[in-house]
Structure 1
Amino acid sequence: MTEDQEAELEEQADDAEEEAEDAEDAEGLQHGDFVELEYTAYTVEDDQLVDTTDPEVAEDEGVDTQGQEFKPRTIVLGEGHIFEDVEEAITGSEAGDSGTVTIDAADAFGEYDPDDVQTVSAEKIDEDDRYPGANVQIDGQQGYISTIIGGRARVDFNHPLAGEDVEYEYEIVDVVEDREAQAAGLFEMYLGFEPELWIETDEVEEEVPVEPDADEDEEAGEDAEPEFETEVVEKESLYLEATPQMTMNQQWMMGKQQIGQQIIDQIDVDRIVVQEVIEGMGMGGLGGMMGGMGGGDIEAALEDADVDADEIVDELEGAEE
């Protein structure tokens, strides 16, 4: 290693040490913290609602009929759950702090690009979507129809809020420390609702590789199959109840692996276990009645129904002859 390389490595080590010290000395909220946030965002020029957690604002703007629950949301600082400019404003703050941030169009939904408006054949669009304002997908791109005349449609592939500066008002309601509450908040952000969940530590059997002795390894050669043994290990598990609302959720169906991995990393658990619960109908239900009947039960049921079992048997034998 040359002297220059050694000097560069020492400089990198010093920088890393300084960053670690700065992180220790930092006050207030930092990246990785879970924050319960209340906010409302409007476009600066047209005063158009972008997003809100306030039910009164949602009612005034007429968006409270969309089945969405309007309440403070849990986000993780530094994970891109909100605009970067807002994250920077919140970093170093405390619970109870509030503020207003104006976000440039380029950092919000992007600048408006006229080249992203294209004319396409109406045949590429479903008949039910052939009207101005319809959201459509053309060749894998999401857009909306600005005009449609005859067999041609003008499709705008810009974001509907492209070119708009956004004013973002926020209040830090609380810092979320409870891990189950953290997980519930993340699931609500990803899926739109909070599933029933809990965290437990389980003992799980796991196959682990066996480290062979040096002499055995040399005798076996490079082509030897690795050996495994069963070992009982502790795993911290996040349990979810697989309700119909969850299993039929489009976001979950399309991205459960990605969503699950992000939550595993952010909550610091070993795995997520999704449990399906099937409730029995009980003795009053048809399934319980038929499933629990033995031969004597069937005879008793026939007697209660005033049916002669011997007559039924004779009729069946006569039909076979």
Structure 2
Amino acid sequence: MTKWVEILYSIYDENGNLLESTQEEVIIPLGYNILHKEIEDKLASSEYGKEYNFLLKKPFGSRDSNLVKIIPVSEFYNRNINPVINLVVNVDGSIGIVRSVNSGRVLVDFNHPYAGKDLLYVIKLNREVTDLKEKISGLLAIIYNVTRKNIEVNIDDNNKKISINIKDLDLNKEQKEIIKKFISEIKDYNIE
């Protein structure tokens, strides 16, 4: 069975610049490489209540110039998207960041934002999470970038039903199935 943990973390680049930091505790399943395989492997056997530093050399690989594409601005307008610098876009299933918009052309970078960087992860490992509601709300908070307090989970064990309410978000059938892939304990439940 997958081990779930509650953590706080910050990520710094090689120059000590803060790139990302949690504002509230995050609940994650270990073994799915949500953070990084090397980190999750070490956290699985680490002591709770302690802070750990992990320095990773280019964990997202080197930057690849072939992943920087020029796309006609008309492609964006046809999809009702106004391309502006730093806009995160989904182009045919690939996530990229608009780097420039000039003369009817849009430069989109499909490299991971941290590609080419050495990263320092500072992680406080708070506790193991065993409560099913916490696992579900924790996973949804990560996937949809919402705070856990905006997620309500009710579990009816007798009828094998789970109802989920997320403020300003409705889950479709595919999204509900994703939850079951991460949390094996609910594979036989109906998610409403």
Q: TM-score range by the shorter chain?
A: 0.7 to 0.9
> Aligned letter for 1:180?
K
Contact 2:8–2:25 under 8 Å retained in 1:
yes
TM-superposed CA distance for 1:244, in Å, is 6.5
RMSD, matched Cα? 2.8
Within the candidate set 239, 258, 282, 2:162 is matched to 239
Deviations, residues 128-157 of structure 1 (Å, cap 9, x unaligned): 634433333444433233233322333222
- In the other structure, the counterpart of 1:229 is none
- In the other structure, the counterpart of 1:118 is 69
Deviations, residues 25-81 of structure 1 (Å, cap 9, x unaligned): xxxxxx72221111111222361423x22xxxxxxxxxxxxxxxx311111221223
Q: C-alpha distance in 2, partners of 1:269/1:133?
A: 38
Q: How does 1:57-206 map to 2 (within 5 A)?
A: 70-105=23-58, 107=59, 109-126=60-77, 129-191=82-144, 192=146, 193=148, 194-202=151-159
Contact 1:129–1:136 under 8 Å retained in 2:
no
> Aligned letter for 1:239?
I
TM-superposed CA distance for 1:273, in Å, is 3.8
Q: Which structure carries more strand by proportion?
A: 2
Q: C-alpha distance in 1, partners of 2:135/2:71?
A: 45
Q: C-alpha distance in 1, partners of 2:92/2:135?
A: 38
Deviations, residues 214-262 of structure 1 (Å, cap 9, x unaligned): xxxxxxxxxxxxxxxxxxxxxxx24215x4727x34xx33732432322
Tell me the SS of whatever aligns to 1:79: coil
Identity of aligned pairs, percent? 22
Distance 1:46 1:150, change over 3 A: farther
> Aligned letter for 1:116?
L
Segments of 5+ residues of structure 2 without an aligned counterpart are: none
Within the candidate set 235, 244, 253, 2:172 is matched to 253
Q: C-alpha distance in 2, partners of 1:254/1:48?
A: 37
Paired residues in the alignment total 186
Q: TM-score, normalised by structure 1?
A: 0.50
TM-superposed CA distance for 1:167, in Å, is 0.8
Tell me the SS of whatever aligns to 1:129: coil
Q: TM-score, normalised by structure 2?
A: 0.79
Q: C-alpha distance in 2, partners of 1:44/1:254?
A: 41
TM-superposed CA distance for 1:124, in Å, is 1.9
> Aligned letter for 1:42?
Y
Contact 1:187–1:195 under 8 Å retained in 2:
no
- In the other structure, the counterpart of 2:12 is 42
Distance 1:134 1:181, change over 3 A: closer
Q: Which structure carries more helix by proportion?
A: 1
> Aligned letter for 2:153?
E
TM-superposed CA distance for 1:112, in Å, is 0.3
Matched, 1:271 2:164: no
Tell me the SS of whatever aligns to 1:262: helix
Deviations, residues 3-25 of structure 1 (Å, cap 9, x unaligned): xxxxxxxxxxxxxxxxxxxxxxx
Deviations, residues 269-310 of structure 1 (Å, cap 9, x unaligned): 621342xxxxxxxxxxxxxxxxxxxxxxxxxxxxxxxxxxxx
Structure 1 window deviating more from structure 2 (111-120 vs 39-48): it is: 39-48
Q: C-alpha distance in 2, partners of 1:131/1:41?
A: 26
Segments of 5+ residues of structure 1 without an aligned counterpart are: 1-30, 54-69, 203-236, 275-321
Q: C-alpha distance in 2, partners of 1:36/1:141?
A: 30
Indicate the structure (1 or 2) with the bigger Cα radius of gyration.
1
Tell me the SS of whatever aligns to 2:158: strand
> Aligned letter for 1:197?
N
TM-superposed CA distance for 1:169, in Å, is 0.5
> Aligned letter for 1:47?
N
